[in-house]
């Protein structure tokens, strides 16, 4: 029997993405971010959230999408993966839905310009709506991020 998963839905451009609620600590409005030198461009810096310093990653930049100006809709989704807390900057986050795990299909090689390794799958919500499920451990792959840092120096 398929299990039900609660998913937070967020947008990057026109595409909708999902991340499991149990990985999300909070969703925050945009806050001032302090730039950190010698990081690659999608790491926007760090911010202080209730006394905890958290790195901020612009998901558009992480996925090689065109970065845009932040708006009133821009949100920071605080996720926790492998004992690492990170804030994902997204265009908007405005929905929590229940998904049946059997609606999640293996992702094609590339979805909306994003490589399959960053994706857990694609969920069909209805005929009109697809939800791209993120593979957070790959999005936050430390080895790859370290590799990128050494390339950009």
pLDDT digit string, tens, across residues 8-51? 999 998 889 999 999 999 999 999 999 988 887 888 999 999 99
Domain 4-152 fold is OB fold (Dihydrolipoamide Acetyltransferase, E2P) (2.40.50)
Q: Please state the domain extents for the chain.
A: 4-152
The confidence score (pLDDT) of residue 145 equals 53
List the beta bridge partners of residue 41. none
Cα 9 from Cα 20, distance rounded (Å) = 9
The confidence score (pLDDT) of residue 142 equals 63
Cα 62 from Cα 59, distance rounded (Å) = 5
The confidence score (pLDDT) of residue 143 equals 58
Taking residues 44-72, report their average pLDDT: 91
């Amino acid at each position: 029997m398929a299990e039900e998963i609660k998913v937070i839905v967020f947008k990057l451009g026109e595409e909708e993405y999902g991340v499991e609620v149990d990985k999300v600590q909070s969703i925050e409005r945009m806050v001032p971010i302090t730039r950190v030198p010698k990081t690659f461009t999608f790491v926007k810096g760090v911010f202080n959230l209730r006394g905890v310093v958290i790195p901020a990653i612009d998901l558009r930049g992480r996925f090689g999408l065109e970065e845009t100006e932040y708006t009133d809709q821009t949100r920071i989704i605080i996720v926790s993966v492998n004992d690492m807390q990170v804030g994902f900057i997204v265009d908007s986050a405005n929905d929590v839905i229940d998904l049946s795990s059997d609606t999640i299909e293996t992702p094609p090689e590339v979805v909306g310009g994003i490589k399959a390794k960053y994706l857990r799958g694609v969920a069909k919500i209805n005929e009109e709506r697809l939800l791209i499920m993120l593979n957070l451990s790959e999005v936050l792959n430390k080895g790859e991020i370290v590799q990128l840092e050494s390339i950009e120096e």
